Amino acid sequence: MSRAFTFHGGRLTDARARFGGTAEDWVDLSTGINPDPWPGGNGQAIDWRGLPDPQGLRELESEAAAYFDADSALCCAVPGSEIGLRMLARILGLPGRHLPLSYSTHADAFADYPAAIPGGRSTFVIANPNNPDGELSPPDRLLNLLERQEAGSGWLIVDEAFADCRADWTIAGAVREDRRLIVLRSFGKFFGLAGVRLGFVLAPLAVTGRLRRLMGEWPVCSAALAYGTAAYSDSAWIAATRAALPSHAARLDAVLARHGLAAQGECPLFRLVKTDRAHSLFTALARRHILIRPFAAHPGLLRFGLPTGPADLALLDAALDEACARG
């Protein structure tokens, strides 16, 4: 399986080059991005002529921190949570540890750092909910893990890229000056606007201070400032989306189950399937111009993102019918 499809989702150009079709032909289910994005972006007036406003950055971080139920003084905007993690690896300078089944970036971000150092200090990175299996770790488990990391003078990074789906999934409020806890948040997944490239690092001031020096005066663009500030304050849309996503996921589960594929995971933005037909199903669906996510290190797994609506769900159902009929 090509690394283009197994390292990250969203590789439609590579998919078209291998399997044909135009961009309009494809249904992209390879990511966990909300297919029904926050609609308020069209109403934002973006002045592209000037540099991003520093006051706008402060307002964004304040609005985001309030939404995260976190201390605004410890909230730092970054141009995507993945870049935030990579900069944190550089700042902390410790070996990275992660779950066996997790984001590819969790391993890749620490690849240039020593595998071990005297004293065994490390940075442990865990996603909550985890990607790609959607496993949810309760706060007590994470805080116990934090205590173990702190006992060894290490750090815990909790990647909450998908935590927006439930208000009670976050531990962002536990980030304090006297704790070795860092929380990552992503704007693009729940709000369905991954191209804005906006994320946040919640961390002690010593860490966010170094982040700010690395990024300089303008860490995110003017559109990110406007979109993020407005979207995080749109409580009605956030509540409606949180209420709607589980039923969308249930409809996907039902289609997968009809074809003998048992979906798993707590996160309603994606579902993981274990099957010994993973390679053949990926290829069969790609030939029907439906892109899902395979995993090089876990060849028996496939991840399905949410279809945009009934029409795309029906296309997936029909493609699975054909794939299963061929065996």
pLDDT value of residue 119? 84
Bridge partners of residue 219, in order along the sequence: none
Of the candidates 296, 312, 113, 46, which has an alpha carbon nearest to the alpha carbon of residue 304?
Answer: 312
pLDDT value of residue 9? 80
Give the integer Cα–Cα distance in Å for 155 and 148.
9
pLDDT value of residue 327? 59
pLDDT value of residue 265? 96
pLDDT tens-digit map of 266-318: 999 999 999 999 999 999 999 999 999 999 889 999 999 999 999 999 999 99
Of the candidates 4, 9, 46, which has an alpha carbon nearest to the alpha carbon of residue 306?
Answer: 9
> Quick one: tokens of 71?
């201390």
> Quick one: tokens of 107?
């391993």
pTM of the model: 0.95
> Quick one: tokens of 98?
């992660």
3-state class of 30 per DSSP? coil
**Cα 10 to chain centroid, rounded:** 12
Domains in the chain (CATH in brackets) are 3-32+236-326 (3.90.1150.10), 51-233 (3.40.640.10)
pLDDT value of residue 29? 97
What's the chain's Rg over C-alpha atoms? 20
3-state class of 256 per DSSP? helix
In which residue ranges of the chain is pLDDT below 50? none
Distances from the Cα of 203 to the Cαs of 84, 183, 250, in angstroms? 11, 7, 35
Cα three-residue angle 311-312-314, rounded to 5 degrees: 65
pLDDT value of residue 323? 86
pLDDT value of residue 257? 97
**Cα 306 to chain centroid, rounded:** 14
Q: Which residues, other chains included, contact 113 with Cβ-Cβ below 8 Å and sequence gap of 6+?
A: 89, 93, 94, 95, 96
Task: Answer for the pair 123, 93: CB distance below 8 angstroms, yes or no.
Answer: no
Element (H, E) at 23: none
Cα three-residue angle 8-295-105, rounded to 5 degrees: 40
Q: For the purposes of burial, counting CB atoms within 10 Å of the CB of 199, is it exposed (0-12), middle (13-18) or buried (19 or more)?
A: buried
Beta strand 75-78 with 199-202 is antiparallel
